[in-house]
Amino acid sequence: AQKVTQAQTEISVVEKEDVTLDCVYETRDTTYYLFWYKQPPSGELVFLIRRNSFDEQNEISGRYSWNFQKSTSSFNFTITASQVVDSAVYFCALSEARGYSTLTFGKGTMLLVSP
Amino acid sequence: SQTIHQWPATLVQPVGSPLSLECTVEGTSNPNLYWYRQAAGRGLQLLFYSVGIGQISSEVPQNLSASRPQDRQFILSSKKLLLSDSGFYLCASAQGLAGVNEQFFGPGTRLTVL
């Protein structure tokens, strides 16, 4: 069975600080996909990134970056120079890419960025 | 890109009353559709998913049911609501295999059962 652990329940930072959200996953499959979603106070989940298990290259998109390490089964998310608008709950998710597989979500990390 | 509509946005219902939440998708065809529930403002629990009209898979046994009468319409129902059914219900759509492609989410319905 697959599992996603986000050990950080809540993180509070001051604007312009860098912050890293941790994600550790468990799966028996060699082919799988990892995702990050953002849930702002409005409630709607916003897709941020998808990585497949064969691509361990780190990715940067503006202030966002992702560090995928298969050796430690981690897919961490870093926000550089955080802003108040980054305040949200962030979810890491995993899917084993076979059949009609579904997403397994972590419990989420609430990020509070204060001015 | 696809757009997902959900209604109503909020709903307050008494225990024992029926429920019908609707989800419609625009901008795609033959999507895989999903119903999630988020209780206590946090974790997402997959309730149902559908890979086609009339095809429903249930992930968690409960007093809820789902139906897919049309390709881009997904309905969540209950004959008698329980207090524990309160939560935030999210509909999602994905193209192709769920594991390969990201899911897009609707704005959600906040249900309070009193």
Q: How far is CA B1 from CA A71, B49, B95, B103, B104, in A?
A: 35, 21, 11, 12, 10
- Helical residues (DSSP H) of chain A, grouped into ranges: none
| Phi, then psi, of A72 in degrees rounded to 5 | -115, 5
pLDDT given for residue B10 in this prediction: 96
Q: Report how many helices (DSSP H) and strands (DSSP E) chain B contains, helices first.
A: 0, 11
Kindly state the helix (H) or strand (E) to which residue B104 belongs, with its residue range.
strand B104-105
The predicted model gives B5-32 an average pLDDT of 95
pLDDT of residue A101: 64
- Each residue's pLDDT tens digit, A10-26: 999 999 999 999 999 99
B79 backbone φψ class: left, alpha, beta (φ>0; ψ -120 to 50): alpha
Task: Look at B103 and A47 and tell me if their CB atoms are within 8 Å.
Answer: yes
Say yes or no to pLDDT of B99 above 80. Answer: no
- pLDDT at residue A58 in the model: 85
Q: Between the CA of residue A40 and those of A21, A36, A64, B15, what are the distances in Å?
A: 16, 13, 16, 30
Mean model confidence pLDDT for chain B: 91
Q: Closest residue of A to B39, CA-based?
A: A107
Q: Which chain B residues have a beta carbon less than 8 Å from that of A106? A: 43
pLDDT per residue as tens digits for the range A53-102: 988 888 888 999 999 999 999 999 999 999 999 999 999 999 886 666 68
Q: Name the 3-class secondary structure at A113.
A: strand
Nearest to B108 among A44, A50, A100 (CB): A44
Tokens of B4: 């997902």
